[in-house]
A and B are shown apart, each in its own frame.
Chain A
C-alpha cells in the first residue's frame, strides 16, 4: 500500500483542500457569515427559531465536498431547455439531503404549513372587534411597493424586484413563498434580510414613529375593544378565506392555510389539531424550512453586489412600510377626532407580535397609562392578510 498516495488522495478528497482551490476563499467567507448569523440568533436572540436553522444551513452548504445542496440541479430544474425541467425525480435521485428538503420550499409547502401554524396561534379578536384596523394593515404595505420600484431602478428584473419588495411585508413565509416562485436565485439573501430586519424591528421602527408623531398623538388612550363572540371568531376565517381567495386566487395556499389554522383554533372541537399545528407541526416545518433556505446561500451565488443591494432595499422596505402605516394612522387620528393613536399604524407590518409590542412600548413611553397592545394587534394581524394580498398581486403580475 502506498501510504503517501493514500494520504494525498485523502487530502484531495477532503473539504480542507478545496478551500485552496479556485474560489475556495468564498466558502470560507460564507462560513464566517454563517457563524455571525449563529451569533446573532443564539446570543442576540434575533428571530432564533429561524435564524439558527438558516445559519446552520448556510454553514452546511458552504462546507466544500459535503454536497448536501447542489444548485446546478435546481438550475436544470428551472431551465426550460433542460431534459430535467420541473423534474423532482431528478432531484430526488441525484440530490443531497438539503436538496430533498428544499423540494418543500420549492413546492410552496413549508411556507403554507407555517401559515397554518401561525393561523392556529393568532387571535383575530382585536381585528374583528375593530375592523377599521384592516386599513392600517393595507397602509403598511407601502414599503413593499416602494422597494419594488427602487429595485427596478437599481436594475433588477420585475420578478426579482417583486421578491425584494415583499421583504417590506415583514412576513417571512410570504417572502419565501413569493421568492421561490418568482426569483429563486435570490431566496437566501431575501430570507436572511427579511428575518434579520424582523428581529431588528424594535430598532428600525421607533425613530420613524417618533419622527412622524407628536407627543400628544402618541399619548392618546384608546377605548377598550368590544367583546368578540365565539361565533364571530368561527365565521371570520371562513369569510376571509372565501373573500380573499375569490379576489386573488393566487393567495389561496397562504390565506387558505392561515385561515384553516385559525378555524382549528376557534372551533373549540379541534383542540388536538390546533395544538399540533401550533407546536409539533410548526416546529418540524420550521426546522425543514430554515435549514433548506439557509442551504441556498451558496458562496459563489451569495457573495455578490446584488446581495448587498437586497439588504439595503430590505431596510428601505421596512422603513417605508412603517412610514405608510403611521401616516394612515395619523389620518385616522384626525378623522376619528383624536380617538385612534397613530402609533398602532406601524404595527400594520405583519411581524407578529413584535410590531404590536413596539407600538405598546412607544405608547407607554409617551403616556405610562397607555395600553396599546391589543389595539395594535388588530393592524398587526391585518398586516399578515395585507402582505399575502400584496404577494398574491405580485405573483399574478409576474408569475404569469
Chain B
C-alpha cells in the first residue's frame, strides 16, 4: 500500500459483500429503469403509431364521406397511399443527394431496378 494511501484497509470478506451488493444495485437500478423505459415507450410508441395511422384512415374515409367535394389530399397523404410506389424513406443525418447515391449504388450492387427495392431509412452510423 502507498504511504499516502486514501482510506483504510479492508477485509476480503467485507469487500466481497460490498461487491455483491454493488453489482446487485447496478442490476436492480437498470432493470427498474428498463421497466420505466418500456412503459413510457409503450405509451408513447402507441400514441405515435395512432397518429401515423390517422391521416391514412382520414384519407381513406374522405372519398366515402364526401365524394364530390373531397379536397385534394395533402402531399404526405398521397405518398402514404401511392399505389405501387416504394413508400416513404426516412433520412437521419443524411442529405437527400447522398441518400439517392446510396440507393443507386445498392440497386446496382444487387442488380435490381431501383423501383423494385424498398428503402425504409438511411442513417449515418457514427
Contact = CB atoms under 8 A, between A and B. Distances in A.
Interface in A349-398: 353, 373-374, 382, 385-386, 389-390, 393-394, 397-398
Interface in B1-57: 1-2, 4-12, 14-16, 18-23, 25-27, 29-34, 36-38, 40-41, 44-45, 47-48
A389 B38 CA distance: 20
Nearest to B125: A373
B5 A183 contact: yes
Interface string A233-264: 00110011001100110000000000000000
Main secondary structure of the interface of B (DSSP, over half): helix
A306 B2 contact: yes
B13 to A, nearest CB: 10
Nearest to A324: B23
B30 A138 contact: yes
Contacts of B10: 152, 157-158, 161
A353 B125 CA distance: 10
Contact of A134 (B14, B33, B44): B33
B29 A248 contact: yes
A357 to B, nearest CB: 10
Interface string A163-193: 0000000000000000000111110000000
Contacts of B47: 231
A141 B23 contact: yes
B34 A131 contact: yes
Contacts of A185: 2, 4-6
Given A139-B27, A145-B19, A185-B4, 7 more contacts: A123-B126, A131-B38, A132-B34, A232-B48, A243-B33, A306-B2, A393-B22
Given A138-B26, A138-B27, A157-B10, A149 B44 contact: no
Given A184-B6, A243-B36, A145 B30 contact: no
Interface residues of A, number: 63
Nearest to A306: B2
28 contacts: A75-B4, A128-B37, A131-B38, A134-B34, A138-B26, A138-B29, A141-B26, A144-B22, A149-B19, A157-B6, A159-B6, A159-B7, A160-B2, A160-B5, A161-B10, A182-B7, A186-B2, A231-B47, A232-B45, A235-B40, A243-B36, A247-B29, A304-B2, A374-B125, A386-B26, A389-B29, A390-B26, A393-B22
Main secondary structure of the interface of A (DSSP, over half): helix
A372 to B, nearest CB: 12
B39 to A, nearest CB: 10
Interface residues of B, number: 42
Nearest to B35: A131
Interface of A: 75, 78, 121, 123, 127-128, 131-132, 134-135, 137-139, 141-142, 144-146, 148-149, 152-153, 155-161, 182-186, 226-229, 231-232, 235-236, 239-240, 243-244, 247-248, 301, 304, 306, 353, 373-374, 382, 385-386, 389-390, 393-394, 397-398
A278 to B, nearest CB: 11
B26 A393 contact: yes
Q: Can you list the 8 inter-chain pairs with the closest CB atoms, starting with the nearest?
A: A159-B7, A145-B19, A157-B7, A152-B15, A158-B10, A138-B30, A229-B48, A131-B37
Contacts of B41: 128, 131, 228, 232
B40 A239 contact: yes
A239 B97 CA distance: 37
Given A135-B27, A183-B6, A353-B126, A161 B33 contact: no
A145 B45 contact: no
A297 to B, nearest CB: 14
A152 B34 contact: no
Given A232-B45, A243-B32, A385-B30, A157 B8 contact: yes
A144 B30 CA distance: 16
A148 B5 contact: no
Nearest to B23: A145
B1 A244 contact: no
Contacts of A131: 33-34, 37-38, 41
Nearest to A184: B6
